[in-house]
Amino acid sequence: MTSPATNVAAGCAAPDQSAPLPSSVDLEKETVITGIVRTAEGEAAGGAYVRLLDSSGEFTAEVVASPEGVFRFFAAPGSWTVRALSRFGNGELAVDATRGVNEVALNVATA
């Protein structure tokens, strides 16, 4: 049985998105895409489903943003699309990721 204090979002096996990067992450070799999902008003869109799509638009991964709107993916260097789906609206952003930490801001709004 899982403890109620666990940092895993309901229904998602991804770790707590707002936790610091583990010290074992070698940013000279790994690529991290991280950011915050915000509403049109600039508020954090916590609980947003954030998807990572490859350069051909194929689904690769999904995490649930932390209550602060934070998300993180470990990916290969290259062209990616980050898409957020939330109760505040949806948003999408093209990312050209390089090794190390790639910080992005993803805004969501209703159409």
Q: Which two tokens stand for residue 41?
A: 């008003």
- Check if the beta carbon of residue 34 is closer than 8 Å to that of residue 70: yes
C-alpha–C-alpha distance, residues 55 and 53, integer Å: 7
- CATH hierarchy code of domain 31-107: 2.60.40.1120
For the record, the structure tokens of 43 come out as 């508020």
Span 59-103, pLDDT tens digits: 999 999 999 999 999 999 999 999 999 999 999 999 999 999 999
Token pair for 106: 């993803």
User: pTM of this prediction?
Assistant: 0.79
Which pLDDT belongs to residue 64?
96
Looking only at the bridges linking them, the beta strands covering 70-75 and 59-64 are unpaired
